[in-house]
Each structure stands twice: as C-alpha cells, then as structure tokens.
C-alpha cells in the first residue's frame, strides 16, 4: 500500500493506492479517467498517514479490495496541505 499527496489543478488530495508506484502507467491512466492529466505526486509513509487520519484511514483501508485500487482519503486541499510538513514528503514525481 502506498500513500501520497497528489497536487492537481484544483489542489492537493491525499490518496491510498495498491499500485506499486505513482508513475505506473495504469495508475496514471486511472487518474486520467478521473480528469487528472497533470500532477505532482509525493509519497508519504503510510504509518504516518494512519497516525494523522486514524479511523478515517482504517475505514478506507477496509474498503480496498482490488490489486489495482485507488482511494481518496482526503480531498480537502487545505487539510491535506497543512497536515504534513515538506520534510515528510518523498521526492516529487512530475507527470505532464
């Protein structure tokens, strides 16, 4: 399971995914089907996300059923942006 912040044209979202990488072509395709064609992705430690989001994290995790799955944990950009420091973000992955 991977966790990460995806910065889109409308702001950041926090996601959980079973894809192995944020540059996996199938992951990129799934985002594109949701209207996200251009993004910056930053991986987060899933345990850190679990600590910050508690029951909400657990509820989403109990719903992840597929091997190629993607769930939005938080779509409130203000929340997402301020819940994590820049030091906690992995290196950026840019998709244009």
Read off the pLDDT of residues 29-81 as tens digits, 9 standing for 90 and up: 999 999 999 999 999 999 999 999 998 888 887 766 666 788 899 999 999 99
The pLDDT, as a whole number, for residue 67 is 67
At 45, list the tokens: 């430690």
Q: Do the strands 2-8 and 39-44 form a parallel or antiparallel pair, or are they unpaired? A: antiparallel
pLDDT digits (tens, 9 = 90+) for 8-18: 999 999 999 98
Report pTM. 0.89
Output the pLDDT for position 59. Answer: 83
State the residue range of the domain holding 38: 2-95
Number of independent structural domains in the chain:
1
Stated as kind and residue range, the H or E segment containing 94 is: strand 92-95
Other Cβ atoms closer than 10 A to 58? 11
Average pLDDT over residues 86-94: 96
Which pLDDT score, from 0 to 100, does residue 30 have? 92
């Amino acid at each position: 399971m991977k966790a990460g912040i995806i910065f889109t044209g409308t702001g950041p979202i926090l996601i959980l995914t079973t894809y192995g990488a944020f540059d996996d072509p199938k992951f990129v395709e799934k985002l594109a089907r949701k209207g996200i064609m251009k993004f910056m992705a930053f991986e987060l430690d899933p345990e850190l996300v679990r600590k910050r989001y508690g029951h909400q994290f657990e509820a989403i995790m109990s719903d992840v059923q597929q091997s190629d799955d993607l769930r939005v944990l938080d779509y409130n950009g203000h929340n997402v942006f301020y819940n994590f420091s820049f030091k906690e973000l992995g290196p950026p992955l840019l998709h244009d």
